[in-house]
Structure 1
Amino acid sequence: MDLDEAILRLLEANEITDQAVLQQLLENEGQAPSQSTLSRHLKRLSVQKVNGRYQRVERAPAPPLRATVMEAPPNMLVLKTAPGYAQIVGVMVDRAVGMEGVAGTIAGDDTVFIAVKHPSRLGEVREQLEQSLRLLP
């Protein structure tokens, strides 16, 4: 039996309140994971301590990325997104294929400033950006 199966079986059969207890039960069955290995397996299996005991929890689906883009003439776009997403969106814009009109980005926590190389292409780049954002899950 592999470690993951043993962990899930033991959690189902016992009310385990401490990782050390789980580790001892696994050792009794011939498994000897280190504490760090056990923690990694628990995380991968979506096992968390809930109401004082370890149990498997359902992962909530990631919320869809919501973003708005507005023009700031003559050559800037301002993208507003949820807190914590601006930097990854900025990197995605910087690396996007087909968005040659972008000079670069500066990202904070929930805002990305996008410099457009030519003011005459501001609307075009905005449309490309909005289309790219619609393709994200």
Structure 2
Amino acid sequence: MSAKGQRQRLIADWLRSGEAGSQEELAARLTSAGIPATQATVSRDLEEIGAVKLRRDGEVRYLLPEQVEAGHAATKLDRLLGEWVLSIVSAGPIVVLRTPPGSANLVANALDAASLPGIAGTIAGDDTIFVAVAEGTIGDRIIADLNARRDRA
């Protein structure tokens, strides 16, 4: 596993267990684990794994998409669609979203976390997301829903 993958796996594990909250705390834990990391590196890692900063039980903490309530996930998705998605087109049973380079994973994580009806799953590259349309769902309906969410942002 790459150093980046190892770092992101550790960060995700610590967030799931509630063992770390701030970027500085995560950087210190990584360094203690023998993985040198700056706050800027941790910030990029948090963004790439889709972590969001929320207030829980009076504390501000980073949470992974699966730890966030569906309502917040949907709000985050709307914002990300508005900010990062350049186009949404149909390609048969797949909907294709285009983003600026380096942004596809962030949007795909938000799509997965929102658990929208009709979406079976996503695959993200650097600037392209393939959205698998669930059986019995029309791709144009997914496109209309995603465009409406993007316009709300």
- Short-chain TM bin: 0.3 to 0.5
TM-score by length of 1: 0.48
- The structure having more radius of gyration, on CA atoms, is 1
TM-score by length of 2: 0.43
Specify which structure has the higher proportion of helix.
Answer: 2
